[in-house]
A and B are shown apart, each in its own frame.
Chain A
Amino acid sequence: MIGLISALTVGLLLLIALVVFALRQESTARGIHSISEFPGDPRHSGEFEVCPPELVARIFSREDWELILQTQSPCLERLFLQERKRIALLWVRQTSRDIRQVMRNHTEAAKQAADIRFRTELSLFLMYIELLLMCETLLLLITTVGPPRLERIASYVHELSRQISYAHEAFARSSAGAATGIPTSP
Chain B
Amino acid sequence: MLDQLIWWGSIAVETLLLVRGLQTKLLSRYPAFYLYIVFVLSQSFLRLYVYHWKLFLYRYTYWSTEFVGILVGCGVVFEIFRVGLRAYPGASRMARNSLLLLFLVALVVAAGNAANDPRWWAEASITEIQRTMRMVQALSLFALVLLFLHYSIPFGRNLRGILFGYGLFVAGSVIWLTFAYTGSGHFRNSWFYLYPMSYDISLLVWIVHLWGYRPNPQTKESAQFERQYERIAAATKRRLQEARSYLDKAIDR
Contact = CB atoms under 8 A, between A and B. Distances in A.
A163 B231 contact: no
B111 interface: no
Contacts of B237: 120
Interface in A1-48: 4, 6-8, 10-15, 17-18, 20-22, 24-25, 28-29
Chain B interface residue count: which class? 35 or more
Interface in A150-186: 152, 155-156, 159-160, 163-164, 166-168, 170-171, 173-175, 178-179, 182, 186
Nearest to B242: A163
Main secondary structure of the interface of A (DSSP, over half): helix
B13 interface: no
Interface string B226-245: 11111111011111101100
Contacts of B135: 6-7, 10
A173 B160 CA distance: 35
A12 B240 contact: no
A182 B231 CA distance: 17
Interface in B87-133: 87-91, 93-94, 97-98, 131
Interface in B123-163: 131, 135, 138-139, 141-142, 145-146, 148-155, 157, 160, 163
Contacts of A114: 89-90, 93, 226-227, 229
Interface in B199-253: 219-220, 222-233, 235-240, 242-243, 246-247, 250-251, 253
A18 B243 contact: no
Interface residues of A, number: 57
B74 to A, nearest CB: 15
A113 to B, nearest CB: 4
B232 A109 contact: yes
Interface stretch (A56-64, A89-97, A123-131, A138-146): A123-131
28 contacts: A4-B182, A7-B178, A8-B175, A8-B178, A10-B139, A10-B142, A11-B175, A12-B171, A17-B146, A18-B163, A24-B152, A28-B154, A109-B225, A109-B232, A111-B88, A112-B89, A113-B227, A113-B228, A123-B240, A127-B240, A166-B243, A171-B235, A174-B232, A174-B235, A175-B225, A175-B231, A179-B224, A186-B220
